[in-house]
Amino acid sequence: MKYTVYNQDGKEAGEVTLPKQIFEVPLKEDLLHQVLVSQSSNQRQNSAHTKNRAEVRGGGKKPWRQKGTGRARHGSIRSPIWRGGGIVFGPRNEKNYEKRVPKKMRRKALFMVLSQKAKENLLVVLDELKIEKPKTKIMAAIMSKLPAHGKSTLVLYKDGKDIYLAARNVAKTGVLEAKNLNIVDLLNYKFVLLDKAAIKEIEKTFLK
């Protein structure tokens, strides 16, 4: 697939041939949904946790004798029906939300999303993405000259911390190393901004 290439001034600078195996993969919505759900689940942080009656502090002594007081019988002040007692059916951090999907399926789903971005002209390809200093102002100025200006954009780079530092605070912009690309981040942004080096990095990483 031939695709227009821009320079950092926003002017057309020729064309690039996008790898067919990555950018011309037909869409299968069922597979895409399965991979998206699995990756979203794997990113889930299971931090909510309540204590049951065995874990709350106190309650070792029977609050009063079994018979003769006229009150209901109780064995512990940490019973779930007592204030300050254990929680019944509360969230527990032992639950595992991980879902496993084969590597080939994950990669094919990734290629499907990239193919749709290319098909809908939502890729912005630069001949080179390079800045002198890691300044947000510089990165914002470059992006203002490109077709994705003002839209939510995921910036992909091959290496170099400067791009990450410069792009992370630009409004409506995410930034990610090309080798760590995944469909959750891709689908969270409308446009994808990358240079030729990032395309080669994607090819090198995901076409092994």
pLDDT of residue 196: 94
Supply angle C-alpha 103, 108, 114, rounded to 5.
Answer: 130
Round to whole Å and give the CA distance between 152 and 166: 16
- Flag whether pLDDT at 143 surpasses 90: yes
How many helices (H) and strands (E) would you count in the chain? 7, 6
- Flag whether pLDDT at 6 surpasses 90: yes
- Flag whether pLDDT at 192 surpasses 90: yes
Round to whole Å and give the CA distance between 171 and 202: 25
- Flag whether pLDDT at 160 surpasses 80: no
Q: Can you list the alpha helix ranges (DSSP code H) found in the chain?
A: 20-23, 29-42, 103-119, 136-144, 161-167, 183-188, 196-206
**Tens of pLDDT, residues 52-92:** 999 999 988 999 999 999 999 999 999 999 999 999 999 99
Closest CA to 193 of 170, 44, 72: 170
Mean pLDDT, rounded, of the chain: 93
Mean pLDDT calculated for residue range 45-58: 92
pLDDT > 90: percent of the chain: 88
CB-count burial class (<10 Å; 0-12, 13-18, 19+) for 11: exposed
- What global pTM score does this model have? 0.81
* Helix/strand/coil for 51: coil
Q: Which domains does the chain have, with CATH numbers?
A: 2-44+100-206 (3.40.1370.10), 46-96 (no CATH)
pLDDT of residue 89: 94
- Flag whether pLDDT at 35 surpasses 90: yes
